[in-house]
Amino acid sequence: MKIEVIGSGCKKCKALFELTKEVVGDLGINDTVLYSNDINKIVMMGIMSSPVLTIDDKPVLVGMLPNKDKLKDIISRNI
């Protein structure tokens, strides 16, 4: 499974990356969380906010930094 945080390099994006790593660890998933600065990936998905969290290249979270429980919920629903 490919879990990736894509962002423009802003604070919010890095915070989402850190939180995602934490949640993925808590859920016992062994895949590494990737981090990308390639905005074109976001744009090509038709999305215009940053950061974006994708699972297997499918956007599951757009333009926001949720709290930990919410992120856990989003990730576990999409794996």
Partner 1 sequence: MSIFYPVQLFSDWLTYSVFSLAPNSIFSDAINFFIYDSIKIFILLFVIIFIVSIIRSYLPPEKIRSILSQKNKYTSNILASLLGIVTPFCSCSAVPLFLGFVQAGVPLGATFSFLVASPMINEVALVLLLGLLGWKIALIYIISGLFISIFSGIVIGRMKVENLVEPFVYQNTLNGNIDLPTMSFKQRSIYAKDYTLEIMKKVWLYVLIGIGVGAWIHGYVPADFLAMYAGSDKWYAVPLAVIIGIPLYSNAAGVIPLVSALTEKGVSMGTTLAFMMSVTALSLPEFMILKKVMKTKLIFIFGSIVAIGIILTGYLFNIVLN
Q: Which residues bind partner 1 (CB under 8 A)?
A: 7-13, 39-40, 42-51, 59, 63-64
Q: Tokens for 39, please give them.
A: 């905005």
Helix (H, G, I), strand (E, B) or coil at 52: strand
CB of 3 to partner 1, least distance (A): 19
CB 13 within 8 A of CB 7: yes
Tell me how far, at minimum, the Cβ of 28 lies from partner 1, in Å. 27
Residue 26: what residue type? D
Q: Smallest gap, in angstroms, from Cβ of residue 26 to partner 1?
A: 21
